Amino acid sequence: MIGNLPNILTLARILLLPFFAASLIYEEYTLALSLFIAASITDLLDGFIARIKKQTTYFGSILDPVADKFFLITSFILMSIYGSLPAWLAIIVISKDIIVVTGCIIIYLVTHNLKIEPSIWGKAASTCQFALIGFILLLKNINSETQIDTMYFLLTAAITTVAGVHYVYKGLKQNT
């Protein structure tokens, strides 16, 4: 069912995205942080409610990670353009997602079957990426001159890369 509460929360998260993007572009960091927090809360609630109320749907299982990817990719593109994080990190994050999505499309076209299951590495990568975006927004809101340590960028890149390799491995293993 598309109209259940978890799916509505996920759709709400997607609808917040243009406002979040505009707030970054116009350097309205308080609004950007507020929208980021609202999106994060809907992300936590949709999964929690779906499991507790037994309202998990195939539609929701696809829409939720898509909403996360839209938010992350938009954040990484805009934050790299405006110098809040290094472009090389945005390239790694976006490339991983393009490779995984392309692999899924190819598997589906060849086998007419696609079983997508999140991995611990994928969850770790998303967690690092969301935490980084949140931390950058927090620093911008407190007008801090604090710079994010390069090691955090490297850690995020490494975990994202491992997640990408792991998904490719799982895709190849599933369909050989």
Return d(Cα 93, Cα 28) in angstroms, integer.
24
165 pLDDT exceeds 80? yes
Residue range 147-174: mean pLDDT, rounded: 93
Model confidence pLDDT, tens digit, residues 25-47? 999 999 999 999 999 999 888 88
1 pLDDT exceeds 60? no
115 pLDDT exceeds 70? yes
For 8, other C-beta atoms within 10 Å of its C-beta total 15
For 138, other C-beta atoms within 10 Å of its C-beta total 14
Q: Domain map of the chain by residue range?
A: 5-174
Which pLDDT score, from 0 to 100, does residue 107 have? 86
Confidence of residue 9 (pLDDT cuts 50, 70, 90): very high
Which pLDDT score, from 0 to 100, does residue 55 have? 84
Return d(Cα 174, Cα 50) in angstroms, integer.
27
Which pLDDT score, from 0 to 100, does residue 111 have? 85
CATH number of 5-174: 1.20.120.1760
Confidence of residue 139 (pLDDT cuts 50, 70, 90): very high
Residue that wins the pLDDT comparison between 151 and 53: 151
Mean pLDDT of the chain: 91
- Residues 6 or more apart in contact with residue 165 via CB below 8 angstroms: none
Specify whether the CB–CB gap between 5 and 49 falls below 8 A: yes
Confidence of residue 175 (pLDDT cuts 50, 70, 90): low
Among 43, 23, 40, which residue's Cα sits nearest to residue 140?
23
Per-residue exposure over 27-44, b if at least 16 CB sit within 10 Å of its own CB, e if not: eebeebbbbbeebeebbe
What is the sign, positive or negative, of the torsion defined by CA atoms of 152, 133, 73, 162?
A: positive
What is the percent of the chain with per-residue pLDDT over 70, rounded to a whole number? 98
Q: Tokens 């243009």 — which residue?
A: 18
Model confidence pLDDT, tens digit, residues 61-96? 888 889 999 999 999 999 999 999 999 999 999 999
Residue range 112-119: mean pLDDT, rounded: 79
Residue range 128-143: mean pLDDT, rounded: 94
> How many residues can be counted in the chain?
176
CA angle 155, 86, 144 (to 5 degrees): 90
Q: Which two tokens stand for residue 1?
A: 């069912």
